[in-house]
Amino acid sequence: MGLNDNKMGGVTPTIRQSVRISDCGLIFLSGNNKSVELKEATATLDELAPTPVLDFTDDQLLPWEEDILKQFVAEQSVHQAVVIGDMLEPRYVLLSLHLLEAGFHVFCIDTELQQESPERFTNLQRLTQAGVTPLTLQQFHVEVLI
């Protein structure tokens, strides 16, 4: 199955469509820094569908080496994930690339997008070129709640 092959007839669905068909998992890399808007959106996800959530709050962990992530990857019927965190963190970029390599369609939300820097732009460019779909927190919120 290719990156864009899925239950929606070969077209990559929106976040809301993904969640409605229980095909989207959330992975938080900065679990302690959840904004009110993000908390509302994730609470809404739980109401729409049972959404698998992984929360990596320990900065020392390398999520792609953790058994819990390997189990998460193995349990997903259609491989789509939303990675939420600070795009300046190398582990954010590496986790997104790891999920792409595992066959996931990856949506990424940079929780610190308002802090512009050349490194942030470079990471965003790298992820986009690799096939990750970047979203702002506002886009995610609208996709989920509307």
pLDDT, tens digit (0-9, with 9 covering 90-100), for 71-118:
777 776 667 788 888 888 888 888 889 889 888 888 888 877 778 889
Give 26's pLDDT tier (boundaries 50, 70, 90).
Answer: low
Position 6 scores a pLDDT of 39
Place of tokens 């600070």: 86
Task: For residues 33 and 145, give the distance between their C-alpha atoms in angstroms, rounded to a whole number.
Answer: 21
Q: Are 67 and 91 in contact (CB under 8 A)?
A: no
Q: Name the pairing type of β-strands 80-85 and 53-55.
A: unpaired
pLDDT of residue 2: 37
15-145, CATH topology level: Rossmann fold (3.40.50)
Residue 4 CA to residue 146 CA, distance in Å, equals 23
pTM (2 decimals)?
A: 0.67
The predicted structure's pLDDT at residue 127:
93
Mean pLDDT of the chain: 70
The answer, yes or no, to whether residue 4 has pLDDT greater than 50, is no
Q: If you average pLDDT over each of 8-12, 14-18, 63-67, 110-114, which comes out highest?
A: 110-114
Nearest to 51 by CA among 26, 30, 72: 26
